[in-house]
Amino acid sequence: MMKKSFRQLLSTICLSLLICPWAASAQKNVIDDYSDNYMDSVDPEAELRCLKQNMSASRTYRFQRQLRFKAYGARPWFYPIKKIIPYWNDNETVKYTAGEVLALKELGLDIPLYETKRSQRIRRQIDEQLLRLQIESEENWNRWLKKNPNASSEENKRMEFQLRFEGLAAEKLPRFDWREAGLDTGSVDYQGLKCDTCWAFAARDAIQISRRLNARRAKRSVAAEAPAPSVRQLVSCMVKDSKFCDSRKPDEAFKFMVDYGLPLGGSRDYLLDNNIPDTSGWKCDKTDSVKALTWDYVSGAPQKVAGTAEIKRAVITYGAVVAAVNYDDCLALYASGVFNEEQFDDGSHLLLIIGWDDALGAWLVKNSYGKQWGDRGHGWIKYGSNNIGQLAAFVVADPQAEERFLR
């Protein structure tokens, strides 16, 4: 294993690759204002460049109308001793091979190799709970079938959805949307133009969804008076050199949440001046914080596109998956349908996967381009299109740390 300091020295290459360029709002508007000038910020030549991109099939989505055209943990204190004591075996699960670790380090990616025993135990408990729900739901479904042998196919379909697909069984559903399942996935925000904060919006939403899911599974709710997180505080508290608009990766944000906590309260306005975030007054003035339990990549090779089944299971288990997609001119113009471009460069924009539809062959995503993008900020991206699924990662809220915020 490489030492942590060496890992930090190598964590440089990928930072310069992730670019999250498009979004907008009105001058001096707070982020929640959502004025209707997003498309005014899109390069008028974007559509022409998009149409020149090579495609092996017809596009299955519609453009926006352009008016101008008319599980992670720190190394334990005893880690150096392990190297000199033979037969030390702590039964660590090997998810990342030595070759994968080296490849990830060369890309500047942090790797969650040292998850605590407590975190491992809680994650096992989540899996066990979901497995119990799956077994119970299958039993309930079979009992219903025996009691209703003459039910219509429509009724069978409705009851199967209602009774059978609980817990891990939900990953077998042909279509899934956390919003339809009653989980609050948060408001849609603008990240602003020329400010690569897509990582912060996606990371904040991912931990918030995990917190709400954690409360729901405990049959509790988050107290209304609990201080809320904001992108401004996450960025201000995490970034020490005032380079607030530099691109970053989800592993950096999740590692910060585990080590130092998700900032809560404090100044939260995200003001835009000429569509560009005004960060001149940003500072870390949080009033509280709450630590995350752990984080991890969906796949053991996160530099590659994670498997469809892997992402589905992570969505069901942890609530949402942050994933990279290769940004191109077409993505900025997406209005509806299934985005299916074939630009397979490394992912340069981060967004949130909150569901899927196998009939469409696509992920349901939540973006940070405002409500004008797609269907009020959400959209469908074909499995694998523009390498969606690279750097796919999740974060897990800590039940113990969250206890003081629940009612």
Q: Judge if 229 and 285 occupy the same domain.
A: yes
Q: Which amino acid is at 14?
A: C
Lowest mean pLDDT among 109-113, 196-200, 288-292: 109-113
Q: Judge if 36 and 167 occupy the same domain.
A: no
Q: Judge if 219 and 265 occupy the same domain.
A: yes
Residue of 108, 130, 93 whose CA lies nearest to 15: 108
CA distance 343 to 331: 11
Which residue is listed with tokens 């009992």?
143
Q: Judge if 216 and 307 occupy the same domain.
A: yes
| Residue 35: predicted pLDDT | 39
Q: Judge if 167 and 187 occupy the same domain.
A: no
- pLDDT tens for residues 299-350? 988 999 999 999 999 999 999 999 999 999 899 999 999 999 999 888 889 9
Q: How many domains does the chain have?
A: 2
85: helix, strand or coil? coil
CATH of residue 64's domain is 3.90.70.10
> Residue 98 has which token pair?
């030595």
Q: Are 291 and 257 in contact (CB under 8 A)?
A: yes
Q: Judge if 223 and 160 occupy the same domain.
A: no
Tell me: pLDDT of 118 over 60. yes
**Better-scored residue on pLDDT, 275 or 255:** 255
| pTM assigned to the model | 0.81
DSSP for 349-381 reads EEEEEEEEETTTTEEEEE-SB-TTTTBTTEEEE
Domain boundary among 174, 192, 210: 174
Q: Judge if 94 and 143 occupy the same domain.
A: no
| Residue 51: predicted pLDDT | 84
Tell me: pLDDT of 31 over 70. no
> Residue 161 has which token pair?
């959805």
Q: Judge if 161 and 58 occupy the same domain.
A: no
CA distance 313 to 103: 25
Domain boundary among 158, 174, 190: 174
> Residue 223 has which token pair?
């107290």
DSSP for 134-147 reads HHHHHHHHHHHHHH
**Better-scored residue on pLDDT, 67 or 344:** 344
pLDDT band at 130 (very low <50, low <70, confident <90, very high): very high
Q: Judge if 166 and 19 occupy the same domain.
A: no
- pLDDT tens for residues 40-58? 667 767 878 888 888 888 8
**Better-scored residue on pLDDT, 268 or 39:** 268
**Better-scored residue on pLDDT, 88 or 339:** 339
Which residue segment(s) compose the domain that 169 sits in?
Answer: 126-174
Residue of 322, 369, 73 whose CA lies nearest to 210: 322
> Residue 127 has which token pair?
């899996």
pLDDT band at 274 (very low <50, low <70, confident <90, very high): confident
Q: What is the mean pLDDT of residues 210-234?
A: 92
Q: Judge if 147 and 262 occupy the same domain.
A: no
> Residue 271 has which token pair?
């003001």
Q: Judge if 169 and 183 occupy the same domain.
A: no
Q: Judge if 16 and 50 occupy the same domain.
A: yes
**Better-scored residue on pLDDT, 156 or 70:** 156
